[in-house]
C-alpha cells in the first residue's frame, strides 16, 4: 500500500522541450513558485482522487479511487474504496496501512518510510522541499507541469511531475525505478478548511493482524 502511493501518476509523455528560451525560463519561475506556495501555504487539503498504475509498455494494470485528506505537517489519510478498501493513515509518527479485506495492518515509522518520497512533499512541512530539485516546467492545455527530481537516487522513483491549473494542484505523475508510472487526478479539492483530527488517528481493530511495531511518542520531560 505504501508503494501504491509513493509512485502516483501517468500516461502523459511530458518531456521538457528544447534549449531553455526566455519564455521557458519564465514558466520555470512560475512552476517553482506554484510548488513553493503549495508546500508553504496549503495547510489542509481534501478531495477525491482517481489513480492509474501503468507498466513500462503503457498498459494500465490497475485503477483505483477514493478520498484524500492532508494536514501539514506530517498527517494524511488516503482511503481507497475501489477496487478494494484500503486505508493509508499517517499520524505524524507512524504510517498505518490497513487492508480491510485481508484484515491486516502494517505499520512503519513515518520518518523513515517517507524520506525522499512524493508523499513527503505532499504532506510534509517546509523542509520537504530540501529533498527535491526543480527540473523545469512546461504549460500544456492550461496546466502548468512542474518536474521535480529526488536528491537521493535510492528513493525508489526517478521523478515526479505536478500539474497545476489556475494555481491549484490537480494532477500528479510519478515515475518509479521499475519503469512504472502512476497517474493521480484530483477532484472536488478544498484547501485550508478544518479536518477532524480523528481522521488521522488510527486504532488497530481487535480482529486484525498487526505487522510491525509502531513508534511511540516521547513523553515530555519534567
pLDDT in tens, 206-218: 999 999 999 887 6
Is residue 161 scored above 80 in pLDDT? yes
* Architecture of domain 8-12+22-210 in this structure: Clam (2.50)
pLDDT, tens digit (0-9, with 9 covering 90-100), for 141-159: 889 999 988 887 777 788 8
Q: What is the residue extent of each domain of the chain?
A: 8-12+22-210
Q: Which residues lie below 8 Å from residue 89, measured CB to CB, with a gap of 6+?
A: 76, 77, 95, 96, 98, 200, 201, 202
- Whether pLDDT at 7 is above 80: no
Q: What's the maximum distance between 2 C-alpha atoms anywhere in the chain? A: 61
Q: How far apart, in whole angstroms, are the C-alpha atoms of residue 137 and residue 14?
A: 10
The residue ranking higher by pLDDT, 172 or 125, is 172
Residue 189 has pLDDT above 80, yes or no: yes
Express each pLDDT in 17-56 by its tens digit.
333 443 566 678 888 999 999 988 999 999 999 999 999 8
Amino acid at each position: 500500500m505504501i508503494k501504491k502511493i509513493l509512485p502516483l501518476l501517468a500516461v502523459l509523455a511530458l518531456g521538457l522541450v528544447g534549449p531553455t528560451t526566455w519564455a521557458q525560463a519564465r514558466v520555470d519561475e512560475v512552476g517553482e513558485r506554484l510548488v513553493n506556495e503549495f508546500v508553504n501555504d496549503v495547510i489542509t487539503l481534501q478531495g477525491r482522487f482517481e489513480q492509474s498504475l501503468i507498466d513500462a509498455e503503457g498498459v494500465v494494470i490497475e485503477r483505483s479511487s477514493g478520498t484524500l485528506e492532508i494536514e501539514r505537517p506530517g498527517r494524511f489519510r488516503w482511503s481507497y474504496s475501489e477496487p478494494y478498501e484500503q486505508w493509508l493513515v499517517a499520524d505524524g509518527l507512524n504510517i498505518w496501512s490497513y487492508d480491510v479485506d485481508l484484515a491486516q495492518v502494517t505499520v512503519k515509522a513515518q520518518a523513515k518510510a517517507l524520506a525522499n518520497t512524493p508523499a513527503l512533499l505532499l504532506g510534509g512541512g517546509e523542509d520537504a522541499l530540501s529533498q527535491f530539485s526543480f527540473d523545469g516546467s512546461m504549460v500544456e492545455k492550461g496546466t502548468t507541469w512542474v518536474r521535480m527530481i529526488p536528491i537521493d537516487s535510492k528513493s525508489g522513483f526517478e521523478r515526479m511531475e505536478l500539474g497545476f491549473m489556475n494555481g491549484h494542484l490537480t494532477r500528479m505523475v510519478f515515475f518509479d525505478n521499475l519503469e512504472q508510472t502512476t497517474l493521480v487526478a484530483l477532484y472536488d479539492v478544498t484547501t485550508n478548511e478544518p479536518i477532524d483530527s480523528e481522521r488521522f488517528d488510527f486504532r488497530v481493530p481487535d480482529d486484525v493482524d498487526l505487522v510491525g511495531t509502531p513508534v511511540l511518542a516521547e513523553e515530555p520531560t519534567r
